[in-house]
């Protein structure tokens, strides 16, 4: 099996590269590719990330489909901007490659949700690809991912929120009309490696800020995946003064009173067989540190005395379960390997 990564120079791409290079099933190696632009002269990933210095080289080659064929690549990871994924995936599929795309290009089926990204109306070619794309959250979609040509790897915030909400929502235990609130907080690596006024150390340190209220791009995939109406979810992201990690605090009303034992049972039942989700017994709650540098999604909860109002807390490492780790987990599912392979 040979895989390739386009976009290894971003935070998620780097993390993905590290995981793939030591994945026991990828003994034939991993091709690292960069877009062949004159302005991008990095020849080895260790030039950008001196932490990689060592016995192993990380040569970056210019991307071309010919190079992929020649090298015998069968699985292509895209850790690229949305427009690049949008451009490359149709040809990749037509050439028989399987693709795991970490961008938002193919996550959304519904036109109105694609509007969160400002995507143009789809032409018929890309509509065909959209139809094939499987949302890559193994805990919800394991069987379909196994046979997928194109896996749309979920967004980081979306992962933390969907995994916390799916068990109760799918069991129809949530009062959807009341509405759900997800107050989510993320480390700065979620904003990407591009230096901006917002990611400057002095802007972030000793600070906390909310942003994208009612308009964050991950909203669409949460609504679609959980089958929620637009007015049934408020999702507010915040920028934390830490490098990585997401914590979502989620507020909902149960449709019928439940006990804490029943709530916990619902979660444990839903995630039986899903080794990358850990359920915490109430009142213990997960913290960002617990899942950092792991592929776990940690979920805990507190139930009010009225047995209706429920607070969920969900934590992930945004670069692992929220990006590169989940991509590797998807690969494991696609090829029938153990879901934990290469992720411990």
Residues within window 231-250 making contact with its own copies, judged by CB under 8 A: 231, 234, 236, 238, 240-245, 247, 249
Which residue's CB is nearer to its own copies, number 81 or number 243? 243
Task: Note whether 307 binds its own copies by CB under 8 A.
Answer: no
Is residue 156 annotated as a catalytic residue, yes or no? yes
33 versus 188: smaller Cβ distance to its own copies: 188
Contacts of 153 (CB under 8 A, 6+ apart): 100, 101, 102, 136, 323, 326, 327, 330
The upper half-sphere exposure of residue 298, i.e. CA atoms within 13 Å in the direction of its Cβ, equals 21
Binding residue (CB under 8 A) for its own copies from 6, 60, 75, 204: 204
- Residues between 164 and 183 with contacts to its own copies, criterion CB under 8 A: 178-179, 181, 183
Q: How many residues bind its own copies (CB under 8 A)?
A: 72
Residue 182 backbone dihedrals phi, psi, to 5 degrees: -120, 110
Site for its own copies in 55-74 (CB under 8 A): 55
Only segment of 101-109, 115-123, 258-266, 291-299 that touches its own copies (CB under 8 A): 291-299
211 binds its own copies (CB under 8 A): yes
**CA torsion sign, 58 to 78 to 22 to 154?**
positive
C-alpha distance across the termini of the chain, in Å: 20
Got the DSSP string for 89-106?
Answer: HHHHHHTT-EEEE-SSTT
Per CB under 8 A, does 51 bind its own copies?
yes
The one segment of 25-33, 75-83, 87-95, 302-310 that binds its own copies by CB under 8 A: 302-310
Catalytic residue selected from 156, 266, 297, 315: 156
CA 256 – CA 252 distance, rounded (Å) = 12
Least spacing, CB of residue 172 vs its own copies, in Å: 21
Output the CA–CA distances (angstroms, integers) from residue 173 to 128, 202, 233, 246, 271, in the order listed.
35, 44, 16, 25, 16
Place of tokens 């995981």: 19
Nearest approach, Cβ of 128 to its own copies (angstroms)? Answer: 32
Q: Binding to its own copies by residue 284, rule CB under 8 A?
A: yes
Cite the active site residues: 156
């Amino acid at each position: 099996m040979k895989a390739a990564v386009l976009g290894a120079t971003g935070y998620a791409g780097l993390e993905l590269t590290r995981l793939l290079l030591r994945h026991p099933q990828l003994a034939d190696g991993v091709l690292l590719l960069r877009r062949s632009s004159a302005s991008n002269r990095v020849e080895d990933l260790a030039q950008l990330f001196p932490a990689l210095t060592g016995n192993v080289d990380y040569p970056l080659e210019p991307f071309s489909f010919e190079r992929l064929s020649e090298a015998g690549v069968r699985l292509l990871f895209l850790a690229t901007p949305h427009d690049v994924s949008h451009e490359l995936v149709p040809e990749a599929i037509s050439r028989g490659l399987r693709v795991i795309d970490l961008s938002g290009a193919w996550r959304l089926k519904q036109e109105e949700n694609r509007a969160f990204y400002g995507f143009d109306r789809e032409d018929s070619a890309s509509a065909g690809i959209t139809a094939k794309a499987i949302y890559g959250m193994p805990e919800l979609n394991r069987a379909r991912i196994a046979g997928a040509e194109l896996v749309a790897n979920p967004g980081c915030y979306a992962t933390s929120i969907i995994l916390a909400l799916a068990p109760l929502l799918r069991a129809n235990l949530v009062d959807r009309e009341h509405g759900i609130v997800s107050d989510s907080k993320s480390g700065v690596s979620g904003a990407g490696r591009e230096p901006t006024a917002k990611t400057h150390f002095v802007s972030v340190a000793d600070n906390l800020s909310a942003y994208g209220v009612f308009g964050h791009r991950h909203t669409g995939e949460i609504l679609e995946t959980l089958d929620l109406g637009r007015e049934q979810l408020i999702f507010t992201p915040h920028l934390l003064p830490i490098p990585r990690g997401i914590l979502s605090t989620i507020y909902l009303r149960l449709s019928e009173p439940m006990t804490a034992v029943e709530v916990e049972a619902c979660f444990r039942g839903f995630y039986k067989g899903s080794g990358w989700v850990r359920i915490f017994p109430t009142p213990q709650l997960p913290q960002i540190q617990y899942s950092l540098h792991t592929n776990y999604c940690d979920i805990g909860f507190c139930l009010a005395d009225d047995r209706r109002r429920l607070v969920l807390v969900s934590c992930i490492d945004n670069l692992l379960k929220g990006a590169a780790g989940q991509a590797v987990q998807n690969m494991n599912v696609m090829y029938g390997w153990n879901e934990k392979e290469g992720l411990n």
